[in-house]
Amino acid sequence: MNGVPLAGFIGLSMFMFITGVVGVIIRRNPIVIFMCIELMLNAVNLAFLAFARYKFSGLANVNQGAAGQMMVVFVMAVAAAEVAVGLGIIMAIYRLKENIDVDELNLLKG
C-alpha cells in the first residue's frame, strides 16, 4: 500500500493526545480545557480510522473497515454532547460568579 505508514498515523495520534493531556493539566481556562479534551477525542478518532484502514486494507470485503468509521461517529456524538453540556455549565457558572477561573471555582464543594 502506498502512502503514509500506520506508524505515522499512530505517531501523530499520540502527539495530539499528549498535547491535549498537557493542555488539560496546565491550563486554567475552562474553554481551553474543553478544546484540549476535543483534541484528545480527535486523536482517538484518527487512531480508529488508521487501524480500520490498515487492518482491512488487504481483505476482499471492503465493508469490514466500516467498524472503525462507526466508532468515529460514536466518538463524535459523545464529543458534541460533551461540548453542549460543558459550555452550558460554563455559561451558568459565569452568570453566577462572573469568573470562570478553574482554580477559584468552589461551587461543587459540599
Q: Is residue 109 part of a domain?
A: no
Q: Is residue 108 part of a domain?
A: no
Lowest mean pLDDT among 39-48, 73-82, 90-99: 90-99
Q: Is residue 86 part of a domain?
A: yes
Total number of domains constituting the chain: 1
Q: Is residue 43 part of a domain?
A: yes
The pTM assigned to this predicted structure is 0.76
State the CATH number of the domain containing residue 46: 1.10.287.3510
Q: Give yes or no for a contact between 74 and 1, defined as CB atoms under 8 angstroms apart.
A: no
Q: Is residue 85 part of a domain?
A: yes
Q: Is residue 110 part of a domain?
A: no
Q: Give the domain range for residue 23.
A: 6-100
Alpha carbon distance 68, 109 (integer Å): 40
pLDDT-derived band of residue 34, with 50, 70 and 90 as boundaries?
A: confident
Q: Is residue 107 part of a domain?
A: no
E runs forming strands in 1-74: none
**Apex CA 104: angle with CA 102 and CA 106, to 5°?**
95
Return the pLDDT at 110. 54
Q: Is residue 32 part of a domain?
A: yes
